[in-house]
C-alpha cells in the first residue's frame, strides 16, 4: 500500500475513526463498534472472529444492516453477508495544490439534512442518513431556483486523515464542474487543518475514478466491504 494511506489504518478505517476523532459517535465497546443508524451505515470489529461478530449482532436491530471493511467475515447464526463491494482507496499527494475557490459554494448542515439525503439517494441510496452531517463539513451548490443540485463533504475522520465523500450532482446538472469545485473546497479545508485527503469509490464507478485521477488522486489499494444483516 502507498505511504499515502498506511495499511495499519486503512485496512479498516472505521475502527480508528471510532476510536479517534469520531469516538463521540461510537456505539459499543470491546470487540465491536458502530455508528448510530441515523449517522452512518458502518461498523467495525477489533478482529475478524466469531466473538467480535457476536458482539456486533447485539448492536443491531433485527433486520438491520451495516457495512464492514474486509474481505472475510466469520459466518455465524443470526448474521448474514448479503452483498460485497470492491472499492479502490485513493489519496491526494501533498504536492497537488488546489485551485482558488469559486463562487456559489455554500455550507450545508442540520437545516439542509433532508435535502442532502434526497440528493445523495439519487447516487448512493441509503448511505447518507439524516444525521450524517455530524461526521464533518458539507458543501453544496444551488440552482437559481434554490434547489440543491450538487454536494459533497467529509465522512470518516482519522488522526491526520479525513475522507472526502458523498460527492454527487443531480443528473440534470452534470458536466458543469460542480463536483470538482466541491472536492477542491473540501481539500482546501483539509490543507488548512493539516490533514490528508482520501476517499473510497466503488470500482464500478469508472466515471468518478477518472475524475479523481484527473484531479491528482492516486489509487493506493483496493478494499472489500461487506453488507452484514442481523436476521
Element spanning 120, H or E: helix 113-120
Residues 168-219: tens digit of each pLDDT = 999 999 999 999 999 999 999 999 999 999 999 999 999 999 999 999 999 9
Domains plus CATH for the chain? 7-86 (no CATH), 90-221 (3.40.630.30)
Predicted local confidence at residue 76, as pLDDT: 87
pTM of the model: 0.94
- pLDDT greater than 60 at residue 5: yes
Percent over 70 (pLDDT), the chain? 99
The Cα-based distances of 214 to 176, 184, 209, 211 in angstroms read 15, 12, 9, 5
Q: What is the mean pLDDT of the chain?
A: 96
Give the Cβ contact number of residue 80 at 10 Å.
Answer: 14
Contact between 69 and 44 (Cβ < 8 Å): yes
Amino acid at each position: 500500500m502507498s505511504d499515502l494511506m498506511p495499511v495499519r489504518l486503512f485496512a479498516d478505517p472505521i475502527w480508528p475513526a471510532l476510536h479517534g476523532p469520531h469516538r463521540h459517535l461510537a456505539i459499543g465497546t470491546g470487540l465491536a463498534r458502530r455508528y448510530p443508524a441515523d449517522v452512518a451505515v458502518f461498523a467495525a470489529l477489533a478482529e475478524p472472529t466469531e466473538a467480535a461478530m457476536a458482539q456486533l449482532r447485539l448492536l443491531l436491530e433485527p433486520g438491520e444492516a451495516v457495512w464492514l471493511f474486509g474481505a472475510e467475515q466469520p459466518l455465524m447464526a443470526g448474521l448474514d453477508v448479503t452483498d460485497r463491494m470492491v472499492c479502490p482507496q485513493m489519496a491526494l499527494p501533498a504536492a497537488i495544490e488546489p485551485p482558488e475557490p469559486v463562487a456559489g459554494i455554500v455550507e450545508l448542515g442540520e437545516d439542509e439534512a433532508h435535502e442532502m439525503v434526497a440528493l445523495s439517494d439519487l447516487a448512493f441510496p441509503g448511505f447518507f442518513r439524516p444525521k450524517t452531517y455530524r461526521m464533518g463539513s458539507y458543501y453544496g451548490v444551488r440552482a437559481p431556483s434554490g434547489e440543491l443540485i450538487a454536494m459533497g463533504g467529509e465522512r470518516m475522520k482519522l488522526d491526520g486523515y479525513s475522507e472526502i465523500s458523498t460527492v454527487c450532482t443531480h443528473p440534470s446538472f452534470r458536466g458543469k464542474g460542480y463536483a470538482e469545485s466541491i472536492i477542491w473546497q473540501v481539500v482546501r479545508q483539509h490543507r488548512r487543518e493539516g490533514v490528508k485527503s482520501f476517499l473510497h469509490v466503488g470500482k464500478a464507478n469508472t466515471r468518478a475514478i477518472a475524475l479523481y485521477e484527473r484531479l491528482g488522486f492516486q489509487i493506493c489499494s483496493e478494499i472489500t466491504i461487506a453488507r452484514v444483516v442481523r436476521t
